[in-house]
Amino acid sequence: MQTKPQGVSARDTDVAVGTRERVVRAASRLLQQQGYEGTGIKLIAREAGATLGSVYHFFPGGKEELAVAAIHHGDQEFADTLRAGLDSADDPAVAVENCARRLASALRESEWTDGCPVTSTALETLGRAPRIQEACHAALRNWQEVLAAKFRECGFADEDAEELACTVLGALEGAEVTSQVFRSEQPLLTAGRHLARLVRSWS
Amino acid sequence: MQTKPQGVSARDTDVAVGTRERVVRAASRLLQQQGYEGTGIKLIAREAGATLGSVYHFFPGGKEELAVAAIHHGDQEFADTLRAGLDSADDPAVAVENCARRLASALRESEWTDGCPVTSTALETLGRAPRIQEACHAALRNWQEVLAAKFRECGFADEDAEELACTVLGALEGAEVTSQVFRSEQPLLTAGRHLARLVRSWS
DNA sequence: TTCTGGATAGATCGCTCGTTCTAGTGGCGA
DNA sequence: TCGCCACTAGAACGAGCGATCTATCCAGAA
């Protein structure tokens, strides 16, 4: 058990949350915003209200092990967001469009910084950090499965559901990047509308 | 005028190409593969068969100025790829699917490393390097315009063409990232098929 | 031939990186 | 009460970063 966190004014300080969890949350947020190479361990520790010693105590594998844990965290968080959006409507086309709308709102509210939690890290570490790649792969698979489950529930054949989930997730991610660069909700909202049209073309 | 490049065995060495161009090409490739923070100026110089002095001679603005030039280079290269793919068929749906196929082949042949030349850099520098963001923004706009022109040629209304171009580009980029992480052509090929279906839904 | 300035060359600077190391703290079971 | 151990704390290390600097090279103008 950690002693009480007496960090002064760190952004992720939360008295009810243990040091390890605070570090993972800070790492997840910073990786999302600045990527793997651009994020230093010392900054993560400072933002989490922890010290370097604590970070290496919980993650003896260093930066790579911490990144893997952070990606798993972002994985589950994004999956929850996705599920919440999909549950907002029975019709799969409407549900997908609602997902896009929610992502757009969240993006604008974060000043266009909080996009997909793994894209940046995944691209930077391609072919150079297998553990991290594996975590990113698992995250994408997980999100595709969340989408595929919704489509199957709505009567899509297994293969159609799987493939559609792959395309919808990819399109949402691509539109999210576009929205971030353009600093506009429009690309995500347009993608949502077009994806709804695509989904409807099966019925 | 530069003297003859006498770099020994650098990858981008090409006797017919000036030092500045070799540096830009190497920078573009490395930014694409490892992102902005992960790519050192010294490595760029080495890969280009140039020295640090030459790099700072041509790019007194340092790493940021070099990155902007590299992104403009990747911008035009990718636009050419896109145009070539779109010119391969009159039917816009077939053309888009062909684009996806070509991107998938190129990706596999590069061992899944050569994806979109700006995504990684764009995400890493969000809100922290305005010049670079501007270059990425211009690149995305340029590629969207290439797609929109094709759609207009094929009889789409201006607004439909613009919006469809936005979604198609985003979907291709997202599918490309997915293909890179999965080390498989399938996500790009599936996205191509679905995008063709979407395009056809207008006719 | 001499001069000039674009281009090359690489040593060097201050800084930050990821990591390691030792010391210290405090709650809890024996 | 004592000892243990999970945890905190931060100084220190070598390596590599981006950037600066001086020295040199060499084609073509004068």
> What does the CA dihedral A101, B144, B103, B198 come to, rounded to 10 degrees?
50
Cα separation, B82 vs B73, whole angstroms: 14
Output the pLDDT for position B112.
97
pLDDT at A3 over 80: no
A199 touches chain B (CB under 8 A): no
For residue A119 the two structure tokens come to 């894209």
Output the pLDDT for position A203.
87
Cα separation, A51 vs A55, whole angstroms: 7
**Residues A146/A132, Cβ–Cβ less than 8 Å:** no
Q: Mean of the per-residue pLDDT values for chain B?
A: 93
Output the pLDDT for position B16.
58
> Model confidence over A82-92: pLDDT tens digits?
999 999 999 99
In order of their start, the domains of chain B are 71-200 (1.10.357.10)
Output the pLDDT for position A16.
60
A121 touches chain B (CB under 8 A): no
Cα separation, A192 vs B163, whole angstroms: 11
For residue A12 the two structure tokens come to 């992720």
pLDDT at A101 over 50: yes
* Separation between the CA of B2 and the C1’ of C6 (whole angstroms): 8
Strand D bases contacted by the protein (CB, 7 Å) = 6-12, 16-23, 25-28
User: CA–CA distance from B37 to each of A139, B63, B120, B129 (Å)?
Assistant: 24, 10, 10, 12
> Model confidence over B116-150: pLDDT tens digits?
999 999 999 999 999 999 999 999 999 999 999 99
Residues 142-181 of A with CB under 8 A from B: 163-164, 166-167, 169-175, 177-178, 180-181
Q: Mean of the per-residue pLDDT values for chain A?
A: 93
Output the pLDDT for position A133.
98
> What stretches in chain B show pLDDT beneath 70?
1-16
Output the pLDDT for position A10.
44
**Residues A71/A117, Cβ–Cβ less than 8 Å:** yes
Say whether A181 and B33 touch across the interface (CB within 8 A). Answer: no
**How would residue A2 be classed by pLDDT, with cut points 50, 70 and 90?**
very low
pLDDT at A118 over 50: yes
A130 touches chain B (CB under 8 A): no
